[in-house]
């Protein structure tokens, strides 16, 4: 639809991008339906440029909805909410995480994930299996051809709290040290010895995007809901908390040694 509208207007991709204010690369992906997250403001700009009527405008916004629905996560509607976290992660160029209680989802092993959901005492065996499958699928973004930069600050308590038996936990910890050697992954442990710190109120995630027009998004979870924020003031607060936690944490090299020591200390 978008390509047809542009061609009917007589504009090239470059001209349409310049007139609408939509980045050329983004417009090209929108036209080929290869963009998984489409900005409503971009669609409105294109609608004004092409002078479309209400029915066409509504059709353009349906395209945006369909782009989200067609993502791999649409197969896991029983696990993820519509427009949930994976739809943002797949487009992010830089993901920063602070995790206080558990190993971050993108770094978990299947056995560890299983232990997390078993500990909740609220999931059937089939439900747990679905969560494990979905989580492993999410992790594929870190090993794709052009992966995002990923930086995680993990509180020491997450390393000390077992998920599953000792062998499963040891496997998880050694997996962390392996992931930490990847060029696009940085993992830091915030040890108990650091004392109180700026991020002690809870876990959160910050996602940045390569397109300048896409706002940075902050994400946090509560027992009953998820929270997405993107106002400048809120993002600055998240950014400051993450940076202060990172500054107080061990370096990546120190973290690898620290995690190895914790793994070796586990008893069967």
Q: Please give the average per-residue pLDDT across 235-239, as a whole number.
A: 96
Q: Is the pLDDT reported for residue 223 higher than 70?
A: yes
Across the chain, mean pLDDT equals 88
Is the pLDDT score of 36 beyond 70?
A: no
**What pLDDT is recorded for position 33?**
63
Q: For 68-77, 103-112, 143-152, 259-268, which range has the lowest pLDDT when averaged over its residues? A: 68-77
Share of the chain above pLDDT 70, in %: 93
Are 139 and 106 contacting, i.e. CB atoms less than 8 angstroms apart? yes
In the chain, what is the straight-line distance between the N-terminal and C-terminal CA atoms, in Å?
60
Task: Tell me how far apart the alpha carbons of residues 103 and 177 are, in angstroms, rounded to a whole number.
Answer: 12
Tokens standing for residue 210: 């390569």
Q: How does residue 142 score in pLDDT terms, banded at 50, 70 and 90?
A: very high
Mean pLDDT of 31-39: 66
The pLDDT tens digits for 100-138 are: 999 999 999 999 999 999 987 778 899 999 999 999 999
pTM for the model stands at 0.76
Q: Give, in order, the Cα–Cα distances in Å from 211 to each of 25, 81, 109, 128, 193.
A: 9, 25, 32, 36, 39
Give me the phi and psi of 166, to 5 degrees please: -60, -40
Q: Is the pLDDT of residue 82 over 70?
A: no
Judged against a pLDDT cut of 60, whether residue 66 lies above it is answered with no
For range 41-68, the mean pLDDT? 75
Q: What's residue 253's pLDDT? A: 97
Question: So what's the pLDDT on residue 259?
Answer: 98
Strands 185-190 and 226-229, bridge-based pairing: unpaired
Residue 195: band (very low, low, confident or very high) from pLDDT cuts 50, 70, 90: very high
């Amino acid at each position: 639809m978008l390509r047809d509208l542009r061609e009917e207007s007589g504009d090239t991709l470059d001209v349409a991008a310049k007139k609408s204010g939509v980045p050329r690369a983004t417009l090209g992906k929108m036209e080929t339906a290869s963009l998984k997250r489409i900005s409503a403001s971009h669609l409105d700009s294109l609608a004004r440029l092409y002078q479309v009527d209400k029915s066409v405008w509504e059709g353009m916004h349906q395209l945006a909805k369909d782009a989200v629905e067609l993502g791999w996560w649409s197969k896991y509607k029983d696990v993820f909410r519509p427009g949930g976290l994976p739809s943002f992660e797949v487009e992010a160029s830089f993901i920063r995480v602070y995790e206080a209680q558990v190993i971050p989802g993108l770094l978990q092993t299947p056995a560890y994930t299983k232990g997390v959901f078993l500990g909740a005492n609220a999931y059937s065996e089939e439900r747990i299996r679905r969560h494990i499958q979905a989580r492993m699928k999410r992790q594929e973004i870190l090993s794709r051809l052009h992966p995002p930069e990923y930086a995680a600050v993990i509180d020491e308590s997450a390393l000390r709290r077992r998920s599953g038996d000792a062998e499963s936990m040891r496997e998880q910890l050694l997996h962390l040290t392996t992931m930490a050697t990847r060029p696009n992954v940085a993992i830091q442990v915030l040890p108990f010895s650091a004392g109180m710190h700026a991020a002690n109120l809870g876990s959160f995630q910050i996602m940045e995007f390569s397109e300048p027009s896409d706002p940075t998004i902050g994400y946090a979870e509560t027992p009953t809901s998820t929270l997405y924020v993107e106002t400048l003031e809120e993002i600055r607060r998240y950014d400051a908390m993450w940076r202060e936690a990172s500054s107080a944490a061990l370096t990546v090299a120190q973290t690898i040694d620290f995690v190895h020591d914790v793994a070796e200390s586990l008893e069967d």
